[in-house]
Amino acid sequence: MSARPAAGGGRWVDVAPERLPRWLENFATRHGAYTQQGLTVVAADGASAELAAPPGAPAVTDLDGLLRAAAAPRRLGLLLARKGAVAVGVAEGAELVASKVETHYVQGRTAAGGWSQQRFARRRDNQARAAAADGADIVARLLLPEVRTLAALVTGGDRTAVDAVLTAPALAPVAGLRAERFLDVPEPRRAVLLGAVTAARAVRILVRDHGD
């Protein structure tokens, strides 16, 4: 579990559903007994934690409902894309039950000018389009047949690359499940995809200490 600075103050923390009760206990130990205000808890020392249900979980309005919803098993689709690399998977709870990773070479930028630069730009664009098309084919093979069983599609990597994959009209049913959460991941590999399962299931918490 790692913390990331949040715009406007505080920090974001991702907590696995099974660890959430213990995390709340530790929060009370550090900051004092807390009161609940919907999905936000406010501790005696003024610190607060605003919890958000993970992708695919049903909407809830209180902490008990969140604990149950987050812990309930659900199937998630995963799509990670960055430059020429695409990773697609299906997660059943914490397990990755199907996956495919594909990597294509995409020409890097060149400092050359004139016609040479334009030629490299066209080649790079063509390679990127080909990578997006291959990514769309993988999504169609792995996720489209499972779309009725998926609670959400969680994406990550580079937004432009992900958007390019999901523009295929045939993938509209999958794109319609896209969750708001976007994962910041490096170039997709199987190990990155496995880590994305954990990040996709996590309860995201905005923690603010008194004075933030």
Any idea where the domains of the chain sit in the sequence? 3-73+202-208, 75-200
Q: 77: closest CA among 146, 131, 162, 15?
A: 146
Instruction: Tell me the per-residue pLDDT of 12-31, one tens digit each, with 9 for 90 and over.
Output: 999 999 999 999 999 999 99
**Given a cut of 80, is residue 87 above it in pLDDT?**
yes
pTM: 0.87
Q: Which H, E and C letters describe 112-128, residue by residue? A: CCHHHHHHHHHHHHHHH
Angle at 87 between CA 84 and CA 92, to 5 degrees: 170
Cβ-proximal residues to 47 (8 Å cutoff; 6+ apart), any chain = 27, 30, 31, 207, 208, 209, 210
- The enclosing H or E element of 205 equals strand 203-208
Q: Domain 75-200: which CATH class? A: alpha beta
Residue 160 has pLDDT above 80, yes or no: yes
Q: Name residues whose C-beta falls within 8 Å of residue 186's C-beta, 6 or more positions apart in sequence.
A: 82, 192
